[in-house]
Amino acid sequence: DGGITQSPKYLFRKEGQNVTLSCEQNLNHDAMYWYRQDPGQGLRLIYYSQIVNDFQKGDIAEGYSVSREKKESFPLTVTSAQKNPTAFYLCASTNRRGARTEAFFGQGTRLTVV
């Protein structure tokens, strides 16, 4: 079955460490996205990629980095420069069939800084 897989589900990080969140999709989607969700807030865009080897900053990119070396994969690195990384992270991908677009989501990764 096609879908998006995020791993790990839960991640604990010590202050000052970099961590990488994985997002893999087998839907043959061109576009992939990373969002952050904090309690009581909406989803905020961190980075997105419309095509392999290209990505763009979203609204809150500071302290994060991404790569898109393969169509299927869009890993997100939370660097030590991110001052408040504890949050729920969602990866999404979209296809486009003419005017119709469907977005699919991974199950999320909950990152906690200890």
Partner 1 sequence: EDKVVQSPLSLVVHEGDTVTLNCSYEVTNFRSLLWYKQEKKAPTFLFMLTSSGIEKKSGRLSSILDKKELFSILNITATQTGDSAVYLCVFYGGSQGNLIFGKGTKLSVKP
R_g over Cα of the chain: 14
Minimum CB distance to partner 1, residue 99 (Å): 5
Residues of this chain that interact with partner 1 (CB under 8 A) are 31, 33, 35, 41-43, 45, 48, 50, 56, 88, 90, 92, 94, 96, 99-108
Minimum CB distance to partner 1, residue 95 (Å): 10
Query: Which residue, 19 or 92, has its beta carbon nearer to partner 1?
Result: 92
Q: Give the amino acid at 104.
A: F
Asked if residues 113 and 86 have their Cβ atoms less than 8 Å apart, the reply is yes
Angle (CA) 106-33-88 rounded to 5° is 55
Minimum CB distance to partner 1, residue 93 (Å): 10
**Beta strand 43-51 pairing with 19-25:** unpaired
Spatial separation of the C-alpha atoms in residues 16 and 73, rounded to whole Å? 25
Minimum CB distance to partner 1, residue 77 (Å): 21
Query: Which residue, 14 or 97, has its beta carbon nearer to partner 1?
Result: 97
